[in-house]
Structure 1
Amino acid sequence: MKRRNFVQSSVLAGASLLTTGVLKAANTTATDSTKPFHLNYGIHDGMFKSHAGADFIDQIKFAYDNGFRAIEDNGMAGRPVEQQKKIGDTLAKLGMVMGVFVQPGLGNDTNMLASGKAEYLDKFIASCKEAVEVAKRINSKLVTVVPGDFVRNLPIGIQTGNVIEAMKKGTAIVEPHGLIIVMEPLSDNPNLFLRTPDQAYAICKAVGSPSCKILYDMYHVQRNQGNIITTLDWVYDEIGYYQIGDNPGRKEPGTGEMNYKNIFKHIYNKGYKGVMGMEHGTAGEGKEGELALIKAYREADSFI
C-alpha cells in the first residue's frame, strides 16, 4: 500500500511560516515569489527532481527557496538511519517541518487490525515502537496508519471494536513521546476497512487519546463521498493532518473538480497551523510541470 486540538497546538504549530532569511540551494529560485505560503504545504520526494536533481535534500532546499516550509515522506521509515538523520538535520537548519511518514513494516496485508488476531496486533505494537525511533531522528510528530482490509466474516461493530482496542494499545506506546497516529480513510479499493472521516472520528472518540487522530486526505474524501467542507467541519476536532490531491487524476490543485482555493481558505480561517501534505503527482512534465505546480499552489493559496 502506498501508504498514510492536540496536534494543532503541538510542535507542528512551530512550523516556520514566519521564518526570515533564505538558505539558498544550489539551484536558482524558479519563481518570482519566494515568500512562505499562508498554509504549510509539504512536498514529497521526487516533486522537484527536474530542478534539483534526484537527491531529496537538494529538492528540500529548492522547495524552501520557493516558499515551501514542510515535507512529508511516506517511505521515511525505510530509508537508512544516516539518511533519516541527514534529512532531519536539513529540516532543522532550514526551519522546516516534517509531516507524516507511514508506520514502518505495515501494509494493507500485514495490518489487519479489524480482524482482532493477535499476530496482526503484535506486528502493530512492534511497528509503533519502531516509529517512535524514526520520529526522533527526523523530529516528526505524525505517523500514518491504515487499519487494513475489511474482514467479511465479522460484523462491522466487532471489527470497529478490534480497531479501537488496537489503537488504544498503540497510542499507549507513542503518546509519551508526543507522537500522533493519524488514521487514513482511503478510496483505493473496496476491501478497505476505513473509508470515511466519520468512521475514523468514531474510533478517535472511543480511543480518547490525543495521539489518535484523523488523516483527512481530501482526494480520498472527494472520491468516497465529496462534501469536503461540511465533512471537514463535522470531524474537525479530531483531524491531525491534511493531504491534498485534485480529483480526478490526483494531481496539483486546479487540475480537477475541487475548488482548493475555497477549501484552503476554510482551513486557514479555522486556525489550522499544521502541515498540508502534497500527496499527489504533477500534471505536467519536467521543469515546466514543476513550475506549473508551484504556480498552482500560489493561485490556490491566494485566498487572502
Structure 2
Amino acid sequence: MIIQTSGGELRLAANLKWMYTELPFEARFDAAAAAGFTGVEFASPYDLPATRVRELLDNAGVIQALINTPGGPAGSSTVMGAAYVPGAGDVFRHGVERALHYADVLGNPIVHVMAGLRPVDAEPELAFATYVANIAWAADQARSAGVRLVLEAINKREQPQYGLASMETAAAVAEAVDPDTVGVLFDVYHAQTDRGNIIERFERLTPLIKHVQIADNPGRGEPGTGEIAYERVLARIAASGYSGWVGCEYGPVGGTDEGLNWIERITR
C-alpha cells in the first residue's frame, strides 16, 4: 500500500502478527491484500513450512517484507533471540541459517536478527562482545545469500534486560560490521517510549535505516490513537528519501480494516 504524505510517498506493509487477529493466520494474507496492502511482515513464519508461507503470499499477491530470526522456547534464555547470550553460539547460528532458508524461499529481502535478553549473571562486556561477533558471522552468511540484516532496540520500560541498548548502539554495530549488509530497524513506537526525539534521531540514523515500523503510544494502537505526531513523523521519513517498507506493527483498537482510517486522517 502506497500512501502520500506531505513529504512524499511511503510503502506500508501489514504486520500479520498484530493485524487481522480476528481471522485465522492463513486468512490474514488475503485480508491484507483486499485492504490494499502489497507487502506483509511478521516475526515468525516458522510454524508453517516455508513452501506453505510462499503459497499464501503468492495466492494473495503480496510480498514478504521482513521476518525475524527464531526465538527459543518460552522460558528459555533465548526466548527473544540468542545473539546476546554467551554460550548460545550454536543456537544462534542454527537460527540464522533457518531464517536465511525461509528468506530464500519467501523472496524476503530483510531479516531482523533478534538480540535476546542479557543473562543476569553475564558480564556486560562479554555479552556485548558475543553480540558483535555473532552479528559479524551472520553478516557473512547474509551477504552470500543476498539478504540484509537489521538490528532493533526494544524499549527498556517493557524489556529492561533486552541486550541491545539503543538504536544508536544498533547503528554503531552495523557500521562496525558491514553497513551494506547490516542496518537499523527504526521502530517509532520503541523510539518514542525509550527516549523520544523521534524525528531528529531518525534523520541522524537515516543512512543506516533499512526498515521502519510504526505504532502509537500509549497503547500501541494505530497512528492517531496516542500522542505521537504521526502526520509530521511520516512526512519527515518520506522526505528523508527512505524507500523501504514501513511495517504497521500495531494492535488495532477496533477492527483492523476499520482502523485503517488513520491513513486518511493523517495523510490528507
Q: Indicate the TM-score class for this superposition, using the shorter chain for normalisation.
A: 0.7 to 0.9
Question: Match for 1:252 among 202, 222, 229?
Answer: 222
CA contact (8 A) 1:146 1:194 kept: no
Equivalent residues, number = 257
CA contact (8 A) 1:48 1:290 kept: yes
1:200 and 2:166 correspond: no
Deviation per CA, 1:210-243, whole angstroms, max 9, x where unpaired? Answer: 2211111111111111111111112111111111
Alignment map for 1:41-120 (pairs within 5 Å): 41-45=12-16, 47-48=19-20, 53-54=23-24, 56=26, 58-90=27-59, 94=61, 96-106=62-72, 109-110=77-78, 111-117=81-87, 120=88
Deviation per CA, 1:82-101, whole angstroms, max 9, x where unpaired? Answer: 4212123235xx3x321211
2:260 is aligned with what amino acid?
Answer: I
SS in 1 for 2:225: coil
Question: Match for 1:170 among 138, 148, 155?
Answer: 138
1:133 and 2:101 correspond: yes
Question: Which of the two has higher C-alpha Rg?
Answer: 1
1:5 aligned residue: none
SS in 1 for 2:118: coil
Name the % identity.
Answer: 23
SS in 1 for 2:186: strand
1:40 aligned residue: 11
The Cα of 1:135 is off from its aligned counterpart by 0.8
Alignment map for 1:129-278 (pairs within 5 Å): 129-153=97-121, 156-187=124-155, 188-278=158-248
The Cα of 1:172 is off from its aligned counterpart by 0.7
Question: Match for 2:256 among 270, 290, 294?
Answer: 290
What are structure 2's unaligned runs of at least 5 residues? none
Quick one: distance in 1 between partners of 2:204 and 2:178? 17
Quick one: distance in 2 between partners of 1:152 and 1:234? 32
1:12 aligned residue: none
1:28 aligned residue: none
Question: TM-score, normalization: structure 1?
Answer: 0.76
Quick one: distance in 2 between partners of 1:73 and 1:112? 19
The Cα of 1:209 is off from its aligned counterpart by 4.4
- Cα RMSD, aligned residues only: 2.4
1:247 is aligned with what amino acid?
Answer: N
Q: Which has the higher strand share?
A: 2
The Cα of 1:164 is off from its aligned counterpart by 1.1
Question: TM-score, normalization: structure 2?
Answer: 0.86
The Cα of 1:153 is off from its aligned counterpart by 4.9
Quick one: distance in 1 between partners of 2:151 and 2:142? 14
Runs of 4+ residues deviating >6 angstroms? none
SS in 1 for 2:261: helix
The Cα of 1:72 is off from its aligned counterpart by 0.4
What are structure 1's unaligned runs of at least 5 residues? 1-15, 19-36
1:298 is aligned with what amino acid?
Answer: E
Pair 62,151 (structure 1): closer, same or farther in 2 beyond 3 Å: closer
The Cα of 1:276 is off from its aligned counterpart by 0.9
CA contact (8 A) 1:102 1:145 kept: yes
Quick one: distance in 2 between partners of 1:224 and 1:55? 31
SS in 1 for 2:263: helix
The Cα of 1:69 is off from its aligned counterpart by 1.9
